[in-house]
Chain A
């Protein structure tokens, strides 16, 4: 169940921010780390990714989920808001549309968003949990994605069942392998294919991700050898100390050490390349944010805005809203929706 359904105090973004701000006493505040590396205030450098979070509904309830998504979350983007998004997109030349959730495919407007974005000539990314592709209600989904040449970025935290199921739920690994075979069968992930299939690695616990190139080689070898699965790239993403992962850290007594580890691993090069500098994040209700993490913490974009008031020229140079959680994107080699940043 989601933190919201459990009426957990951490289902409140205000409580999450309180915990995060309190920890800033134990390490250098993030704003000071940015200032020390000449990056404060952090500013956007344009908008190259139009990321739409179409809602919190998901068929899984992963233990680290920063969205607190699940089958019990009813918040999803309406057709009206989806149309506002596409109208805003049409006024720009932003090259990529990144659709996320929840399981974005469960939103009844998902396929329309893909079709409309493709009509506008944009590259489309689907952040897919894999198992959604096998749901009876989603029949033909994989073929639809292939037909529209949608890049599929899938979560698979490890190449073994034990670790994957520990994070994502019992039986998820086996179904994920079936879904990857389905995608491979359509040409996704093949070396000579234009159908891009990328995987996302998240640590299954309170530790930082491995070097992306090293773990990608492990995944390619093991998924190929064990299951005959191919994919293009593997992105490593650091678990963000918010929502369910924050609850895990606090419950298991790992919070202070994890935050210390993130702060000690602050990398100015990773900070300079953070994704919020080149993306715009749109919430299920049309509100605008600097990134999906800020969205979940309720940290609205500077000045506060909604997609109906879309002003791309102002947003492209906006000041980014930061907080202690931002250490999650700047530790080590950095972390973003596209993997490492440094």
Chain B
């Protein structure tokens, strides 16, 4: 095995349902409903998914939602901004914990 992630595995996602078909069926139906056009357009949902894919750093999701964003008509400017949004939240989430650090330091300091 050359590594943990293989591009072709993305096409085999449904294999995960083999030992829990009912759970897979429910997940698949829910997933499809989530990405259907609603209050948000399919294009907006794909951009959110792309941003989240970067936040959770899932290579399968990044691959899938890069394609999906292009297929929904987004361009690289919009997709790059979405990645920056995810990165800003990740960076901000780390930085805001600086307050925990400050609180801890203040508690033990004179």
Q: Which residues of B contact A218 (CB under 8 A)?
A: 73
Encoded as 1 (CB less than 8 Å from any B CB) or 0, chain A from 160 to 203 comes to: 10110000000000000000000000000000000000000001
Instruction: Say whether A163 contacts B75, CB under 8 Å.
Output: yes
Instruction: Say whether B73 contacts A210, CB under 8 Å.
Output: yes
Instruction: Say whether A158 contacts B75, CB under 8 Å.
Output: yes
A158: nearest chain-B partner, CB-CB:
B75
Q: Which residues of A contact B11 (CB under 8 A)?
A: 260
Separation of A252 and B43 alpha carbons in the complex (Å): 26
CB distance from B44 to the nearest CB of A (A): 10
Separation of A216 and B41 alpha carbons in the complex (Å): 14
Could you say which of B70, B71, B72, B75 contacts A160, with CB atoms under 8 Å apart? B75
Q: How many A residues, CB 8 Å from partner? A: 15
Q: How many B residues, CB 8 Å from partner? A: 12
A218: nearest chain-B partner, CB-CB:
B73
Instruction: Say whether A210 contacts B75, CB under 8 Å.
Output: no
Separation of A215 and B75 alpha carbons in the complex (Å): 11
For window 61-77 of B, CB contacts with A under 8 Å fall at 67, 70-73, 75-77
Instruction: Say whether A209 contacts B43, CB under 8 Å.
Output: no
Instruction: Say whether B70 contacts A215, CB under 8 Å.
Output: no
With A207-B70, A260-B11 known as contacts, the answer to whether A214 contacts B42 (CB < 8 A) is yes
CB distance from A14 to the nearest CB of B (A): 30
Separation of A207 and B43 alpha carbons in the complex (Å): 15
Instruction: Say whether A203 contacts B42, CB under 8 Å.
Output: no
Q: Which residues of A contact B77 (CB under 8 A)?
A: 160
A208: nearest chain-B partner, CB-CB:
B71
Confirm or deny: A338 has a beta carbon within 8 angstroms of a beta carbon on chain B: no
Encoded as 1 (CB less than 8 Å from any B CB) or 0, chain A from 206 to 238 comes to: 011111001100100000000000000000000
Instruction: Say whether B71 contacts A207, CB under 8 Å.
Output: yes
Separation of A218 and B77 alpha carbons in the complex (Å): 14
Separation of A209 and B75 alpha carbons in the complex (Å): 12
Q: Which residues of B contact A205 (CB under 8 A)?
A: 70
Q: Which residues of A contact B75 (CB under 8 A)?
A: 158, 160, 162-163
Instruction: Say whether B71 contacts A210, CB under 8 Å.
Output: yes
Q: Which residues of A contact B42 (CB under 8 A)?
A: 211, 214
CB distance from A203 to the nearest CB of B (A): 7
CB distance from A201 to the nearest CB of B (A): 8
Encoded as 1 (CB less than 8 Å from any A CB) or 0, chain B from 45 to 85 comes to: 00000000000000000000001001111011100000000
Mind listing 9 A-B residue pairs with CB under 8 Å? A160-B77, A203-B71, A207-B70, A210-B71, A210-B72, A211-B42, A214-B41, A214-B43, A214-B72
Q: Please list the residues of chain A having a beta carbon within 8 angstroms of any beta carbon in chain B.
A: 158, 160, 162-163, 203, 205, 207-211, 214-215, 218, 260
Question: 3 smallest A-B Cβ distances: which pairs?
Answer: A210-B73, A215-B73, A207-B70
